[in-house]
Structure 1
Amino acid sequence: MTRTALVLGAGMVGVSCALALQKRGLAVTLIDRKEPGRETSYGNAGVLAASSILPLNNPALYAKIAGYLGNRHPALNLSLRRASTRPGWLLRFLWEARPSQGLARIAALQALTADTVARHRALMGEAGIPHRLRETGTLKLWRSEAGHAAAQAEHDFLKRHGIESHLLDRQGISGVEPGLKPIFPAGLLIPSVGSVDSPGAVTAAYAALFAERGARIVQAAVTGLSRNSAGWRAETATGGFEADITVVALGPWSGDLLKPLGIDPKLDVERGYHRHLTPQAGSSLTRPVYDVDGAYYIAPMEQGYRVTCGVDLSLRDAPDALRQIDSATAAAREAFPLGAVVGETWRGARPTLPDSLPMIGEAPRHPGLWLAFGNQHVGFSTGPITGEMIAAMVCGEPPPIDPTPYRPGRYIS
């Protein structure tokens, strides 16, 4: 008999899991409260981050903490209510930044991100959207002369890990992106990084491919999950769904669903915001640009030029805190000729674990319950390989990379 699977969550990770399981012959039902690609996978810079191999909580974080206090730095906003509600999580996050963990975390992130462009290129071809992929790299910029040393240090770091990059001075930056204002003396071009013009549309296209191949997508909120004699049952507002296995890929909402099962994955969130703006006449960019000192991306998108901002460590469902996106918008206008804001400011939440690595694997003591969340800032990039890992392990195949660093048992007993 055909094995059956429920995949809960239709972001990039969930859709990728659904496609990979379907490819192996399972009958898969994909369930989410919203249309595919409308939550966390919608709000990012569209970067296929082959160079994002340094965890956010790396040893350099310790030296930056003092500068982050008082919420004056654009890279971080820390809600006192959040800090007082989950102080243990924040302390563990800082503990995981200790130097002894650095090399292993870098290797684990690089294993996930190394072939992200190739995997997305293949999926976009299957989904009929190859035009959405840009292979023009990404540009990282510094506003002060001290940026030359920082760019050199990052260039050397990437070189040690086999990632190509090119150092640029002010003239070189203008040669690569003439639309930028000449306010950046130092830059780094990373050619291997890809990007897309609409992350939400790409995720939706992958989901459409899944449906075209005969599978079912259900738009309904998942309200409960339980084990039964047949496998697993998910309760929704429109009824229950049963299958042999279940994959939980609900991003920042995964912990809510798992808690009644006695599972605490140590999951928390990093909120983020973006805005779309029109360019002034005659101005354009050919790739996403990251302003290190302003802590924002500006990326050409189908909807306009998307400006993102730093991490907002507030409670997941707290009201908007617009300081960072307002700061990023002002800084982006200094760097590139932008016009009017298009639409409303978007806010979302990224699922994060204390060690900055995702949870990929079967839940301890819960056979048939598979976990795929916690991909933090690189979920759009790492969705396809996460899906392949889950599907391979479900089917008893060797996964494409060693799953040990991402095992759920590191936080779930």
Structure 2
Amino acid sequence: MSSTIVLGAGIVGISTALALQARGLDVLVIDRKAPGQETSFGNAGVIQNEARAPYAFPRAPLTLLTYALGRSNDVIFDLPALPGMANALAQYFWQSAPRRHADISRHYAELVAQATSDHAALITASGAEHLLCKSGLGEIFTNQKAFEARALEAEQFGKTHELAMTTVDGTQIAAEEGLTKAPAGAVLWRDTWHVRDPGALVTAYAKHFIRNGGRVEQADITALSPAGSAWKVNTTSISYDAKHVVVALGPWSPNLLAPLGYRIPMVMKRGYHAHYNHETELSRPYLFAQEGLVLSSMNAGLRVTTGAHLTDFDRPQKLHQLKAGLKAISGYISLTDRVPEQQWHGTRPCLPGMLPLVGPAPKHQGLWFNFGHGHQGLTLGPTTGKRLAALFELAAD
């Protein structure tokens, strides 16, 4: 029997396993897919040092109307999916009130401020330096008024959080990145990092975990239940027992925990990506802010990642955001040659309180939570893994 089982082999689960292992625990990781092949596989690959505040639910009536009418490429929704998320969305709206969001952001900023240093230690230990670029993140604006407003906001935000940022004229960005037309301008965050293959990064971390004596089992988890003073994890093939179990299954966590009496509301934000061949690599990832796309040069090509699609797990792909965004940026960059078999979607697990749920379960001894990282699973995985491991140590004292 392992002392600890971590359920989930994404960036959060593997980072948690490594942090627990570093404290001398015998750790087994279980997931239905190989490490880094679910939600961690398909993100934009950005370790967002600048993301010191979580995404708030929009409260301006005009913005809400824009979303409701489907006139923004940032967010779309499937109407039949909304009743199932109504409680989570209502709580998300309430928590996003300015004062509450500011309180949440203070805690969030503390986590994000540690992200690059926590990743750095794992990147070095796992030999994954070849996947890392430290060239920053850009926000491109195609509208002059929007660029000027964002530049002022970003400058103040940068000063508040002591972040290295600059604003750049659109002509300069066009020349540097080979754009076919100059945008209005760009905001550059200098200390943000980029990973050329986020799935491969998780795989590298997992190999480091295994080299140090950890185990990873690929199995479909069917149930989790207490077994005396321990826990039993049932899969389609075999059962596993452990004194402690950490649930780090991202958007699948609430369903697994429901039979144990936990009702955890979650906003399911699906994202899409596709890869395109491109003659020259971008020097850094870029958010086309008004078009709702992030462009990142990856090992598999130029990855184009969308905003949020509020929908259920089992609903079919809806490629509206990808197609509309590509059409909107077509005057700035030409992307016509899509890489075959490189179209993907996954779900971001967003909790209404906007902070990841990290710590002991309130109703059961030996059960631990580490999920709900929203848009920042890649950024925060090692940091919340360390936080959870520290709580383990405190509980053992």
TM-score between both structures, scaled by the size of structure 1: 0.92
Asked whether the 8 Å contact 1:6–1:247 carries over to 2, the reply is yes
Structure 2: distance between partners of 1:226 and 1:160: 46
Q: How far off its partner does 1:95 sit? A: 1.3
- Match of residue 335, structure 1, among 332, 336, 340: 332
The alignment partner of 2:346 has SS state of: strand
Post-superposition Cα deviations, 1:168-221, rounded to whole Å, max 9, x if no partner, equal 11233245x332233311211100100110000000110111111111110001
Asked whether the 8 Å contact 2:358–2:388 carries over to 1, the reply is yes
- Match of residue 301, structure 2, among 300, 304, 311: 304
Q: Which residue of 2 aligns with 1:106?
A: 105
Q: How far off its partner does 1:374 sit? A: 0.3
Deviates more, 1:382-391 or 1:55-64: 55-64
Q: How far off its partner does 1:317 sit? A: 2.0
Q: How far off its partner does 1:269 sit? A: 1.2
Post-superposition Cα deviations, 1:12-51, rounded to whole Å, max 9, x if no partner, equal 0000010000111110000000000000101111000011
Matches within 5 A, 1:383-398: 383-396=381-394
Q: Which residue of 1 aligns with 2:153?
A: 153
Superposed CA RMSD: 1.7
Residues 174 and 335 from structure 1, CA distance in 2 versus in 1: closer, same or farther, beyond 3 angstroms?
closer
Query: How many positions carry a matched residue from both structures?
Result: 394
Structure 2: distance between partners of 1:378 and 1:361: 18
Residues 85 and 115 from structure 1, CA distance in 2 versus in 1: closer, same or farther, beyond 3 angstroms?
closer
Structure 1: gaps spanning 5 or more residues:
399-413
Q: Which residue of 2 aligns with 1:242?
A: 241
Post-superposition Cα deviations, 1:75-125, rounded to whole Å, max 9, x if no partner, equal 010211112333222222111111121221221221111121222122111
Q: Which residue of 1 aligns with 2:370?
A: 372
Q: Which residue of 1 aligns with 2:227?
A: 228
The alignment partner of 1:350 has SS state of: strand
Deviates more, 1:54-63 or 1:75-84: 54-63
Structure 2: distance between partners of 1:332 and 1:306: 14
Asked whether the 8 Å contact 2:135–2:193 carries over to 1, the reply is yes
Post-superposition Cα deviations, 1:115-170, rounded to whole Å, max 9, x if no partner, equal 21222122111111111111000111110111122222122122212212101112
The alignment partner of 2:154 has SS state of: helix
The alignment partner of 2:259 has SS state of: helix
Structure 2: distance between partners of 1:72 and 1:263: 36
Q: Which residue of 2 aligns with 1:322?
A: 319
Matches within 5 A, 1:4-403: 4-57=3-56, 63-146=62-145, 147-174=147-174, 177-279=176-278, 281=279, 283-342=280-339, 343-396=341-394
The alignment partner of 1:335 has SS state of: coil
The alignment partner of 2:343 has SS state of: strand
Deviates more, 1:68-77 or 1:189-198: 68-77
Structure 1: distance between partners of 2:62 and 2:246: 39
Asked whether the 8 Å contact 1:277–1:339 carries over to 2, the reply is yes
Deviates more, 1:339-348 or 1:234-243: 339-348
Matched to 1:387, the amino acid is: G
Q: How far off its partner does 1:397 sit? A: 7.9
Asked whether the 8 Å contact 1:151–1:186 carries over to 2, the reply is no
Deviates more, 1:226-235 or 1:179-188: 179-188
Matched to 1:145, the amino acid is: Q
Structure 2: distance between partners of 1:103 and 1:158: 16
Residues 63 and 97 from structure 1, CA distance in 2 versus in 1: closer, same or farther, beyond 3 angstroms?
farther
Structure 1 residue ranges (4+ consecutive) displaced by more than 6 angstroms after TM superposition = none
Structure 2: distance between partners of 1:36 and 1:29: 13
Residues 262 and 151 from structure 1, CA distance in 2 versus in 1: closer, same or farther, beyond 3 angstroms?
same
Structure 2: distance between partners of 1:123 and 1:246: 23
Post-superposition Cα deviations, 1:346-387, rounded to whole Å, max 9, x if no partner, equal 010011111211100101021110000000000001000111
Asked whether the 8 Å contact 1:151–1:167 carries over to 2, the reply is yes
Structure 2: distance between partners of 1:331 and 1:112: 35
Structure 1: distance between partners of 2:390 and 2:53: 27
Deviates more, 1:92-101 or 1:299-308: 92-101
Deviates more, 1:322-331 or 1:10-19: 322-331
Structure 1: distance between partners of 2:89 and 2:60: 13
Q: How far off its partner does 1:3 sit? A: 7.2
Structure 1: distance between partners of 2:108 and 2:181: 33
Matched to 1:358, the amino acid is: P
Residues 184 and 107 from structure 1, CA distance in 2 versus in 1: closer, same or farther, beyond 3 angstroms?
same
The alignment partner of 2:180 has SS state of: coil
Matched to 1:70, the amino acid is: L
Q: How far off its partner does 1:332 sit? A: 4.1
Structure 1: distance between partners of 2:189 and 2:13: 28
Asked whether the 8 Å contact 2:174–2:183 carries over to 1, the reply is no
Asked whether the 8 Å contact 1:298–1:332 carries over to 2, the reply is no
The alignment partner of 1:54 has SS state of: coil
Structure 2: gaps spanning 5 or more residues:
none
Matched to 2:166, the amino acid is: H
Structure 1: distance between partners of 2:127 and 2:395: 28
Q: How far off its partner does 1:284 sit? A: 2.4
Deviates more, 1:108-117 or 1:236-245: 108-117
Residues 212 and 332 from structure 1, CA distance in 2 versus in 1: closer, same or farther, beyond 3 angstroms?
farther
